[in-house]
Structure 1
Amino acid sequence: MFVQLLAIATLAASCVYAQNSTNFTVTDVEQAFQAAKIVPDVLPSFNPTGILNVVFLDNTTGTSVNVTPGANLTREQNALRPQVFLTTNDTSLAQQTFVLAMVDPDAPTPQNPTAAQIRHLLAPGIQANGSVTSGAALVNNTPAISDFLRPTPPAGSDPHRYILLLFVQPANFTTVAPQFVNSSTPISNFNISLFAQEVGLGSPIAGNFFLTGPDANSTNSTNSTSTASGAASSSTSPASSNTPSSSMRVEINVASLTATAAFLGFVMSFL
């Protein structure tokens, strides 16, 4: 039992490190969205004020995977709902409530996106836990409207773009949103920009995205509309961290590290 606790603590520590291990700027994300044609395919424009750091736990290796915008991930790497963190110099966002969405604009294939967008996640009632200037964890306080649906691009498809967007939640969201989307609404043929306009979400304050293709042994049909996603433009590449274009950087979350260290000390006291 103690060994299991130690393993859990070690994993927690690695996830905290992964939270802050990427080094990309707001401008890098903005440029990556443009290069991948997320603007205008999904959003009419994108002017983020913060960094959305996305961390998956690999379903097979148990290691954490930090998403750099435009990164290629395997289906094993993104099978589980990710942890998300917000870093911003706008401290007024610390007390806000957010809506997190994840969409696939390329279903069933990038060349024939007749089912797009697929709604992979729509989660309101999210709040920052920690300092937003150093990377606050975003925590769900209410059930998701559409719970996380793992990427499953169909056999024969090019890789799909999976886009995560963070919006400030308006005060009347819980009463207005069900008029357009609820738990029984089909996840296909969704339009995040139209939905944002209908419910007053405004423009996303942060975003991130990754690419995922079908497994080599995938047998699901290319006509599937359940979780198909599309490929980014051939010009898409992960955001560069070699030529910084903004002073905003993902920094170490001291509070999270302290909490993890305390937990490790607690576990070690029993060994």
Structure 2
Amino acid sequence: MLFYTIASLLLAATTLAQTTPAGFTPSTNMTLDVYYGSTYITPGLMMKKSSVQKAPVVGVTGTELPGKYLLAFIVYNSQGTGGKRTTVLHALLQDYAAANQKQNGTNVITTKATGPSSYFGPAPPAETPKHPHNYIFLLFEQPANFAVPASHKQTVQSRMGFDIVKFMADAGLKDPIAGNYLQVQSGDNTKRSFQA
């Protein structure tokens, strides 16, 4: 009985720590708080395409973020050309900093930057059978004098085939400090598991 209780607690802790999809690299144990309007994104939440078209409010709970930060928003395992799965960059926004405001206990961070790659909302293609797409948020400490490495400028502009691990190495980024993800599938009749 004691073993069952301990195993259950460990499983619950593992589930709570999962802020990116299973098998995705890089990962982090800190949840990035993401709000689309009043809807809080718990990791893996299924959302309607129409409700995630504007950039969300982001931040963290329980800690202050005193520096500048870089936010990457990517879709992992998206259907690309010829049915081949790929990664697409949906946003790469720099200069996030503390906004000195809270939303439901979240220490909000904001940016006025629209680049290096502006936000565009999830728009998964029609697939039969439907395939939920994982849209992943990763928050990084932004290095001083951050710039997109020359070898990644074309990919950041085209957005297709974005390799976050290689980008991190070439841009001098450390592991992400926080992450989160949501799921969207084709069509706008996707049922959400949370109603706001």
When normalised by structure 1's length, the TM-score is 0.57
**Counterpart Cα distance in 1 of 2:41 and 2:14:** 16
2:78–2:88 CA contact under 8 A, matched in 1:
yes
**Counterpart Cα distance in 2 of 1:139 and 1:105:** 24
**Counterpart Cα distance in 2 of 1:88 and 1:146:** 29
Structure 1 unaligned segments of length 5 or more: list them.
Answer: 1-24, 58-63, 218-237, 239-271
- Provide the secondary structure at the position in 2 that maps to 1:47: coil
Post-superposition CA distance 1:86-132 (Å, at most 9, x none): 2244x4xx3210000100112217xx543x21000100111012279
2:139 pairs with 1:166: yes
Q: Counterpart in 2 of 1:51?
A: 31
Structure 2 unaligned segments of length 5 or more: list them.
Answer: 1-11
Letter in 1 for 2:48: T
Q: Counterpart in 2 of 1:142?
A: 113
Q: Which runs of 4+ in 1 moved over 3 A?
A: 25-29
**Counterpart Cα distance in 2 of 1:120 and 1:170:** 21
CA RMSD of aligned residues (A): 2.7
Letter in 1 for 2:61: T
2:184 pairs with 1:188: no
Q: Counterpart in 1 of 2:54?
A: 80
2:71 pairs with 1:100: yes
1:86–1:128 CA contact under 8 A, matched in 2:
no
- Provide the secondary structure at the position in 1 that maps to 2:53: coil
Letter in 1 for 2:28: N
User: Relative to 1, partners in 2 of residues 1:142 and 1:107: Cα closer, same or farther, differing over 3 Å?
Assistant: same
Q: How does 1:1-271 map to 2 (within 5 A)?
A: 28-31=15-18, 33=20, 36-37=21-22, 39=23, 41=24, 43-44=25-26, 46-48=27-29, 50-57=30-37, 64-89=38-63, 91=64, 94-108=65-79, 112-114=83-85, 116-130=86-100, 134-156=105-127, 157-174=130-147, 177-179=148-150, 180-181=152-153, 185-215=157-187
User: Relative to 1, partners in 2 of residues 1:96 and 1:26: Cα closer, same or farther, differing over 3 Å?
Assistant: farther
1:127–1:141 CA contact under 8 A, matched in 2:
no
2:28–2:179 CA contact under 8 A, matched in 1:
no
Q: Counterpart in 1 of 2:9?
A: none
Higher alpha-carbon Rg: 1
Letter in 1 for 2:132: P
When normalised by structure 2's length, the TM-score is 0.76
2:33–2:41 CA contact under 8 A, matched in 1:
yes
- CA drift of 1:172 comes to 2.8
- CA drift of 1:66 comes to 1.2
**Counterpart Cα distance in 2 of 1:124 and 1:104:** 18
1:65–1:77 CA contact under 8 A, matched in 2:
no
- CA drift of 1:208 comes to 0.5
**Counterpart Cα distance in 2 of 1:26 and 1:51:** 13
More strand by share: 2
Corresponding residue pairs, total: 172
